[in-house]
A = this chain, B = another copy of it.
Amino acid sequence: MSLNLQTNTEHFTNPLYLESGRILEPYDIAYETYGELNDDKSNVVVICHALTGSHHCAGTYEGENKAGWWDGLIGSGKAIDTDKYFVICTNVVGSCFGSTGPMSLQHPHHNHYRYKFPVVTIKDMVKAQRILFDRLDIHRVYAIVGGSMGGMQALQFAIHYPNFAQKIISMAATYATQPWAIAFNKVAQESILKDPDFKQGYYDPEVIKEQGLAGMAVGRMAGHISFLSHESMQEKFGREYKRTDGLYELFGKFQVESYLEYNGYNFTKWFDPLAYLYITKAINIFDLGRGFDSMQEALKKIQAELYLISFKDDVLFKNIEMKKIADILSEVGNTNHTYIDIDSDYGHDAFLVELDKFDKYIKDALDG
């Protein structure tokens, strides 16, 4: 059965009231759906994307050769089976793939927002999705699934809309972003800000896409370190050289250096630097306990069946952070959650690349 791949954009004219007290008005939300909504609308699965992800999480568009970022997990007969489920994935506000973000045109001036764009939080991203689902006449969903920043959104849904989803699956995320992750984001932010071609936020987006932005490439390289781990790099690259004669050349390249360079510079062709600043900011200030007296009080709100998945060698959001959520839930008497720590060779990236390590678990959680 085909995926029934479809990309849409909805336009909203009512203000989006943000956690900061500011508003976003008007705004667009881009989203994709796969599969068919059943008659009683009981088969909706929401997918939440990570920092640089988009609403295109499955399938391959005609004329393109790159499938959606979780294509291995979502599709006919796959763990998130589009023969059964109606899957929706939205691009978060603040991003750069169709939903309103810092490079969108500000009404009514038709200039890019740039730094006039308000800081958005994970809670704001979730709220905007909730509003989209209302527009689509979907008022409850079967499940919400996400990894990394997507896992943060899943948890935020669970706390702020306790009756909205029956099941929540959060992977490779945390209860509140820790300084280690903030530090990696800081390197990337500083690197972007100090690149003269960034022009203090007043760059020409076309020029940036064409020429690349070295500062963002360097920042992304730092990011890629945090997505892997000491062990995964050892296994993946060892001390292999790209050219055997490069040992005594100042810029002779180890495989790991080529990997970072390729991924860093390639990134600047498809992601917007201001969106990177805003979304890393949202990740930095993510804290499930904000607005509550304690993390306990926050987590007490959760009503959904909750599945927490961490990866043993994740150095960005450590497995102990996910375990802490499970521990607190047990403390406050929640008996409706499970936590598993998956042995993986890929660090944080595992949620994107080692699907075979957890796809059965997701299938069981959804179909069970």
Residues of A within 8 A of B (CB): 19-22, 115, 118-119, 176-180, 182-184, 186-187, 190-191, 194-196, 214-215, 217-218, 221-222, 224-225, 228-230, 233-234, 236-239, 247-250, 254-257, 260-261, 264, 277-278, 281, 284-285, 287, 315, 318
**How far, in Å, is A241 (CB) from chain B's closest CB?**
9
Q: B residues within 8 A CB of A222?
A: 187, 222, 225
Seed contacts A222-B225, A250-B278; 19 additional CB < 8 Å A-B pairs: A20-B247, A20-B248, A178-B230, A179-B233, A179-B234, A179-B237, A179-B239, A180-B225, A180-B228, A180-B233, A182-B257, A183-B228, A183-B233, A183-B256, A187-B218, A190-B221, A190-B260, A190-B264, A194-B195
B238–A119 touching, CB < 8 Å: no
B250–A277 touching, CB < 8 Å: yes
Bound-state Cα–Cα, A215 to B222, Å: 13
Q: B residues within 8 A CB of A22?
A: 248
Copies of this polypeptide in the complex: 2
Bound-state Cα–Cα, A201 to B37, Å: 60
Closest-by-CB residue of B relative to A281 is B250
The binding surface of chain A is classed by DSSP as helix
A119–B217 touching, CB < 8 Å: no
Q: B residues within 8 A CB of A277?
A: 250
B180–A229 touching, CB < 8 Å: yes
Given B119, B180, B254, which contacts A284 in the complex, CB threshold below 8 Å? B254
Bound-state Cα–Cα, A21 to B277, Å: 46
A234–B180 touching, CB < 8 Å: yes
Closest-by-CB residue of B relative to A256 is B179
**How far, in Å, is A80 (CB) from chain B's closest CB?**
31
B248–A119 touching, CB < 8 Å: yes
Bound-state Cα–Cα, A215 to B277, Å: 18
A239–B20 touching, CB < 8 Å: no
Q: B residues within 8 A CB of A183?
A: 221, 224-225, 228, 233, 256-257, 260
